[in-house]
Amino acid sequence: VWSANTGNAPSSKVLFGKHQREGAVFIDVGVPSTCGGAASDAVVEFVMDAVADLTEFDESDFETAVAAASGAAVANVNVVLAKTVVIPFECAECTEIDYTMGNYAVPASETTYACKAYPIGVTGTRDIIRLDVIKDNANVLHHIVVFQTVIEPTKMLADGPGPCTAMPAGATPIWAWAPGGVPFDLPSHVGIRVGDGKAKWLIQQYHYNNPILAAGEIDDSGIKVFYAPPGVTREQEAGFMFLGVPNSQIAIPGQRQKH
């Protein structure tokens, strides 16, 4: 935590939050009560402008930005940078497998759903304990949904990556990623059980968004799956539940004030 002012603690408000892979960053700006509301708003605006372009919140860069911002607005401004640190994932005996799209040629159309199926690549009964994304072509990758299935997706395996709008029978979702998403670590007592007597294949459905209809876009994005060590199964087996309404019912008519 770093503060520009070690004096009296003023009333403050969190004005910005950003979740990063290594943790979460929150910028807290407080202005002494002797400063008027307009001055307080000015400080917030200056600080936001100063840090808006910082992609990595390095402490020294942040101090420089805040010093410039607070000096331009009003003295005695309290600015606090708080970072939560996430312990890196470590599992020396885990099995780590990458499942990627294999340099898929993304069509020059605005919206494409494409799928690729994979054998899980491990034997016996195993628990998936972590999933992470492998991002390749951010120009067109919109999101990824990962499914598991106990029924061999014969056609998908034979065809390789290609267009798809529906999953084969028996496929159930286990994870989804979209920009801004972070690795999915299951609780220490929970695993997604696959292998013997369970799902033996994974299917990934990719949504590509290509609004400018660019030709020649290639993507090799995918997922990185971490399996618990052989012979290690966790106490609880994870499940997946759908909540809400079907996508087909989410249609808001135009020119309505309420719906």
pLDDT of residue 18: 45
What pLDDT, on a 0 to 100 scale, did the predictor assign at position 73?
42
pLDDT at residue number 246: 72
Give yes or no for residue 60 having a pLDDT over 80. Answer: no
Per-residue pLDDT tens over the stretch 10-50:
444 444 444 444 444 455 555 444 444 444 555 555 555 55
pLDDT winner (highest mean) among 47-56, 64-73, 166-175, 187-196: 187-196
Angle between helices 37-51 and 59-73 (to 10 degrees): 150
Report the pLDDT value the prediction gives residue 9, as an integer from 0 to 100. 39
Question: Is residue 209 pLDDT above 80, yes or no?
Answer: yes
Q: How confident is the model at residue 251 (pLDDT cuts 50, 70, 90)?
A: confident
Q: Compute CA distances 158 → 48, 126, 152, 216, 232, whole Å.
A: 52, 25, 11, 24, 32
Q: Tens of pLDDT along 47-59?
A: 555 555 555 555 5
Token representation of residue 246: 């079907």
The tens digit of pLDDT for each residue in 92-123 reads 899 999 999 999 999 999 999 999 999 999 99
Q: Which residue has the tokens 């065809």?
A: 159
SS3 state of residue 220? coil
Give me 190's structure tokens.
């929970």
pTM of the model: 0.65
Of the candidates 145, 142, 225, 143, the one whose C-alpha atom is nearest the C-alpha of residue 183 is 225
Confidence at residue 108, expressed as pLDDT on a 0 to 100 scale: 96
